[in-house]
DNA sequence: CATCTTTGTTGTCAATGTCAACATCGCGGT
DNA sequence: ACCGCGATGTTGACATTGACAACAAAGATG
């Protein structure tokens, strides 16, 4: 591709990547479509060919985030556990992976769960979020199947687990832990939760 | 006070209240200082006498939110429990109160925990947040003192509890619970967590 | 009653998001 | 090979907004 071609080539991806890094550095409020266009070397109205408006770009960013989160969680929970120890470890890994993702891109996580997404985009966002929920549920079910934890509605258990991970991640990325290392809190959370699932 | 006085009388409070209701209705992004000024019947630059900039108003809103949350949690956890049942009930009430607050003003909660606050304001926000954390810890300590739950670093336990409440609140207000009633999930979370604290 | 501080007003500016009208590119059908 | 058309990018415009400066009125304080 020539250095100066009328068409950019892959503006959509360029914009998304620039936006993703921008929000982590300057916050989501400081994001400017015109600035993104300048950085990409295109005119100020070019982004509108790929995103109807600013909100649409944020929606796409959030959806991307959910997909990446799901990929990250999936990687941490592959294979079926055969022992209680293994099941417990999978649970730990899931928690660590979630909090790791959050600490690596806190603003994106915040955006993913923000309430400002357009109703039209919400459908896709919920679907993308469900993938992560389903992974959590899979870990719970696998643990139940080998008797590593007691019975109980796996959906509710998974929801509470997911919520706990999310809460710890938010507190950690918000700097509200006062001295307590995030990793320690993740361990405590995982232990308490696993403990509560026995019986 | 005359209907038309040059001075408004209590513009600061008026702005905060209007802003609080506006963000819940239209989202925090749609908040406009000039619109607030119009609604209050003052000129477009009047708000700057009370808030250095828009962020300062959002910071004040968040701090107010933390104070109201703490007040709400405090009301739900008054008095010292004497029996294990009472201690458990206090814990439940705390969880319910937190989630209730979140569902009543989801956007405000989101704003409170957002990462965009100015460094200067963060100090006060953290202090205001600590009050709620301290309340949670008090409930944990009280339960430990009468042997309703096992030992363990009360700070960490309280942090995890707080995180769990917060996570459930976020999922609930984000509509990510799929059919599962929020109250049910709160009960499940509380039960699992309490269970994990035995030993 | 004089003065100083607080509060509110008017005018202005640059930046932004969005839209409409126009330009260029590249691909597929004939 | 070419031509038409959709996709992509550009230019120009506009209303809104947050922020600032200079000024005005009100109220408190001596």
B79 to chain A nearest CA, in Å?
26
- Which residue from A minimizes the CA distance to B118? A27
Q: Which of A28, A160, A168 to mutate to test the interface with B (most CBs of B within 10 A)?
A: A160
- Residue in A115, A164, A180 closest to B164 by CB: A164
B49 touches strand D (CB under 7 A): no
pTM, 2 dp: 0.94
**B140-177 pLDDT, tens per residue?**
999 999 999 999 999 999 999 999 999 999 999 999 99
CA distances from A111 to A114, A195, B66 (A): 5, 32, 21
- Tell me if residue B174 falls in helix, strand or coil: coil
- Which residue from B minimizes the CA distance to A172? B163
| pLDDT exceeds cutoff 90 at B2 | no
pLDDT at A121 (0 to 100): 85
C1’ D15 / CA A31, Å = 20
pLDDT at B72 (0 to 100): 97
Q: List, in order, residues 6 or more apart from B13 with CB less than 8 Å away.
A: none
Positions in chain D where some atom is under 7 Å from a protein CB: 7-13, 16-22, 25-27
pLDDT at B1 (0 to 100): 43
Instruction: Say which residue, B181 or B7, is predicted with more confidence.
Output: B181
- Which residue from A minimizes the CA distance to B107? A115
Secondary element (H or E) of residue A85: helix A84-104
For tokens 């055969």, the residue is A82
Quote the CA–CA distance of B122 and B129 in Å, as a whole number: 10
pLDDT at A105 (0 to 100): 98
Instruction: Please identify every stretch of chain A with a pLDDT value under 70, giving residue numbers as ranges.
Output: 1-4, 6
A7 touches strand D (CB under 7 A): yes
Contact list in B for residue A113 (CB cut-off 8 A) is 110, 170, 174
Task: Indicate the length of chain A as a whole number.
Answer: 199
A46–chain B Cβ distance below 8 A for any pair: no
Q: List, in order, residues 6 or more apart from B95 with CB less than 8 Å away.
A: B164, B165, B168, B186, B189, B190
Contact list in A for residue B189 (CB cut-off 8 A) is 160, 163-164
**A145-177 pLDDT, tens per residue?**
999 999 999 999 999 999 999 999 999 999 999
**Do the chains contact at B177 and A159, CB–CB below 8 Å?**
yes
**Do the chains contact at A185 and B191, CB–CB below 8 Å?**
no
- Average pLDDT value for chain B: 95
pLDDT at B119 (0 to 100): 83
- Which residue from B minimizes the CA distance to A157? B188
Quote the CA–CA distance of B45 and A111 in Å, as a whole number: 31
**CB-count exposure of residue A120 (10 Å: 0-12, 13-18, 19+):** exposed
pLDDT at A4 (0 to 100): 61
C1’ C10 / CA B44, Å = 10
**Do the chains contact at A167 and B165, CB–CB below 8 Å?**
yes
């Amino acid at each position: 591709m020539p250095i100066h071609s009328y068409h950019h080539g892959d503006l959509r991806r360029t914009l998304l990547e620039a936006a993703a890094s921008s929000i982590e550095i300057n916050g989501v409020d400081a994001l400017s479509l015109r600035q993104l266009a300048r950085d990409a070397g295109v005119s100020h109205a070019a982004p509108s060919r790929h995103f109807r408006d600013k909100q649409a770009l944020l929606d796409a960013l959030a959806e991307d985030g959910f997909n990446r989160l799901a990929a990250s969680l999936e990687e941490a929970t592959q294979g079926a556990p055969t022992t209680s120890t293994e099941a417990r470890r999978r649970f730990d890994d899931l928690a660590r992976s979630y909090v790791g993702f959050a600490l690596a891109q806190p603003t994106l996580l915040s955006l993913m769960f923000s309430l400002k997404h357009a109703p039209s985009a919400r459908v896709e966002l919920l679907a993308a979020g469900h993938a992560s929920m389903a992974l959590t549920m899979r870990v719970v079910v696998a643990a139940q199947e080998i008797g590593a934890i007691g019975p109980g509605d796996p959906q509710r258990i998974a929801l509470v687990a997911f919520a706990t991970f999310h809460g710890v991640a938010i507190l950690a990325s918000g700097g509200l832990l006062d001295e307590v290392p995030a990793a320690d809190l993740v361990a405590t959370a995982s232990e308490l939760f696993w403990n509560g699932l026995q019986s």
